[in-house]
Every structure is written in C-alpha cells, then in structure tokens.
Amino acid sequence: MNLPFQIARRYLFARKSHNAVNIISMISALGIVLATMALVCVLSVFNGFTGVVSRTFSAFDPELQITPAQGKVFDPNDPRIEEVKNISEVAFTSESLEENALLKNGDRQEPVILKGVSKKFEYLAEIDKLIIDGRFLLREDDASDTIEAAETGSVEEWRMDNGVVGAGLAMLVGVRANFVNPVEVYVPKRNVKVNPANPATAFDHSGVFISGVFALNQTKYDDQMMIVSIDLVRELLRYETEVSSIDIKLKDAVAIDRVQAKIKSILGDAYLVKNRFEQQEDLYRMVNVEKWVTFLILAIILIVAVFNVVGSLTILIMEKDGDIRILKKLGADNRLILNIFLFEGWLITFAGALTGIISGLAVCMLQQHFGLWKLGSTPGTFVMDAYPVIVELPDILLIFLTVNAIGFLAVVYPVNNLRNRL
C-alpha cells in the first residue's frame, strides 16, 4: 500500500479545521471541472461543424480530383490519365472545365464561376437531389428538329444550350428555371489583343437558357456558380479537348487514401490528386485554426484555474504543519512528506479533469439527442437548427493529458517551498 497516496486521499476528502480551506479546495476543483468541460464541449462543436461542412461538400465535390500541377488546363488524352481511368477501383470519371465569366440578364450582371461538365457529372454529384427548381439539363441536341432557313433553303441542326445556377445567383440576376429568354454569358477571348476603342470585342458570349436552380447552402456555390455543358465552355474559350480537372467516382467500399496513393504513383509530379478535404483545403484549414486557437485560449483559462490548486495546497500545507511534525517524529523522511502533498495536488487535478470530461461528454450527448442550444431563434435560418456536436477520442485524450500536465506542474511550486522548509 502506498502510504503517501493513502494519506493524500484522506486529506482530500476529510473536513479541514478551517472552513476557508474547504471552500478554497472546492473552488480549485470546480475551476478545473468547468475549464475541462468547456474544452470538451468547444472542441466537439468544432468537430461537428467540420462534419457538417464535409457532408455538405460531399454532395458536390468528387471523391478524388485530378488537376494540373502547373497551369489551368491539361489534355485528358494523356496515356497516364487513360491508365487511371482503367483502374479497377474507379467506377467512372467526369471531365470539368472552369473559368471566370460574366452573367448578364437584362440590366443585371454578376461575375460567376462558369463550370463546364460532361454528362456523367449528374451521377457523380447526385445533383438531382440538390435541384430546387426545374431540372438538370445542360444541352439539347436533336437532328430531327430542324430550322428551315426560308431565304437560303438550307437546313441547320437545332441545338439549345442550358445551364443550372445556384439559388443565390438566380436571385441576384433575377432568373428562375424555364425562363423564356436566355441569359448572356461573357468570357474574355484567349490570345486576343484588346481594342481600347471597342472593348466589347475582347469577349466571346453565348445565350444560355436556365433549366434549373440548385441549393447547396454554401455561398461559394449558391451565389457564384453556373453549370453548363463542357462543350459550350470549350467553344467560348476556344479549346479543343482541354479540361481543368478530371473528377473520379470510386466504387463502394474502396479505401480512398490507398487509391489516391496509387493514382499519384501513376501520374507522377505533373498532376495533383486531391481528396475532398484537400479540394476544400482553405476552408478546413480555417476551421482547424479556429479550433486550436480556441483550445489555446481555454488552456490559458485552465492555467488560471489551476492557480487555485496552488493556493489550496499552500494553505493545506500550513494547516497540516502539526501533522508534518508528528510524521517526522514517527520516522517519516522528507521524501515521504513531500510525496503526500504532491499526491494531494495531483488528486485534485485528476479528479477535476475526470469530472470535467464526464460532464462535458454528458452535455455533448444531450446536445446530440435533444439539440438544447440553438443556432438561431427562427428554425430553418441556418443549415442546421442546433449546434452540431461530434466527440472524438483523440481530443478527449489530449484534453485529459493537457489538464493533468498543467496541474502536475502547478503543484511543484508549493511542494518545493515545503522542501526548503524541511
């Protein structure tokens, strides 16, 4: 039996001769409990927001995406790309070509991200689930429908370009699905000198009918993106086969990290292969920075709370001066006496950390099941009504180790003063 530990445990739970000592001990433990509970809750909320963002973007971003390491576009007919398409884990691929453009509807105009996609994009992104008005239709080609040119007698193939826009963008330019009049899309001409006297000649443009409106509840997409056929974007940009990315859909139950490494080994340094987190690297980095900055701030608050343990232990040492003299007469050496008060301080910290973690986990479970803390007073204002919570074991272990490390270091000061006295 560890004698210093048993004495320290008795000191922890026994009533003190002065009520002030009991009160200070309770305050020191309560401070650690509250700081620890706050750490658990706050980190779990940040994990929840990261999970919400991940689920939201997973409806639009591909599982893996190939982009050029340098430049904006590349030729998809590269033999290495063809080899990637034939990998057994790849279900199918979709080509994409993006460029900044100007969308104009009457007097309204907005800068947009013009995203040209191939036909398989519809199955890659499951965009039908995101359409809130109209349908997903990009280009209608039908040779049976013809337009008779009365003056020349010629027959032209009929073709209609359609586009799908975000809900915010539709509101900004004043359009909705199945409008009779098309909107105008303008893009700068490539490799053409601009005539200052007539800057309008520096742009290529095309009319596009709005076939649908989607909502992803993300500003980047809802307020800025217009999806059209990749053939239309190539025509506007005067490309032949170039793409800005190849989006990959993997088969079910496939390890994404393993396939990503396999594709990287095939493509080499000329291409970048990104998973969903890497495609939204800036956003996830911002969330993680906020998470760990918040952790640092709460850790500083925890350090302040642990100072109460220093005061509590100092007063306890003064109160137990008589017990120290008795133990010395009974043959206890200085090391045993120092260990008693070391264990006393560590027990306060350990009990506070454990209680705080259990309390924090209880609060997180209540939030998960009942959504007690709301994001806004009006339901439907945000993507979710209540703060999302996801508890991750590494965070809990980190909190436990941090709290105990700070507490263990804090008790060294009063114990060192006792060593000098002894």
Residues 185 and 317 in one domain: no
pLDDT (mean) for 363-367: 94
Residues 369 and 223 in one domain: no
pLDDT of residue 186: 94
Domain boundary residue among 255, 276, 297?
276
User: Mean pLDDT score of the chain, rounded to an integer?
Assistant: 85
Residue 126 has phi, psi (to 5 degrees) of 50, 50
Residues 109 and 244 in one domain: yes
pLDDT (mean) for 255-274: 94
Tell me, what DSSP letter sits at residue 273? E
- Domain count of the fold of the chain: 2
Residues 296 and 408 in one domain: yes
pLDDT tens per residue across span 309-322 = 887 788 877 877 78
Distance, in Å, from the CA atom of 132 to the CA atom of 222, rounded to the nearest integer, reads 12
Residues 78 and 197 in one domain: yes
Residues 123 and 260 in one domain: yes
Residues 197 and 290 in one domain: no
pLDDT tens per residue across span 338-360 = 888 888 888 888 889 999 999 99
- Using an 8 Å Cβ cutoff, are 125 and 92 in contact? no
pLDDT tens per residue across span 2-49 = 777 788 777 766 665 555 666 777 788 888 999 999 999 999 999 998
Domain boundary residue among 276, 302, 320?
276
- pLDDT over 60 (residue 152): no
Residue 117 has phi, psi (to 5 degrees) of -130, 155
Residues 102 and 195 in one domain: yes
Tell me, what DSSP letter sits at residue 377? S
Burial class (CB in 10 A: 0-12, 13-18, 19+), 71: exposed
Domain boundary residue among 211, 241, 276?
276
- pLDDT over 70 (residue 269): yes
**Who has greater pLDDT, 368 or 317?**
368
pLDDT tens per residue across span 97-124 = 999 999 999 999 999 999 999 988 988 8
pLDDT of residue 14: 64
Residues 28 and 84 in one domain: no
Residues 43 and 13 in one domain: yes
- Beta strand 64-68 with 271-275 is antiparallel
What contacts 164, CB < 8 A, 6 or more positions away? 127, 131, 134, 136, 137, 138, 210, 211, 212, 213, 214, 226, 227, 228
pLDDT category at 270 given cuts 50, 70, 90 is: very high
- Using an 8 Å Cβ cutoff, are 308 and 24 in contact? yes
pLDDT of residue 19: 58
Residues 258 and 351 in one domain: no
Above pLDDT 70, what percent of the chain?
88
Please tell me whether the overall predicted TM-score, pTM, comes out greater than 0.85 for this model: no
Residues 89 and 232 in one domain: yes
Which tokens sit at 140? 């209608």
Residue 109 has phi, psi (to 5 degrees) of -150, 145
The residue segments making up the domain with residue 380 are: 3-57+284-421
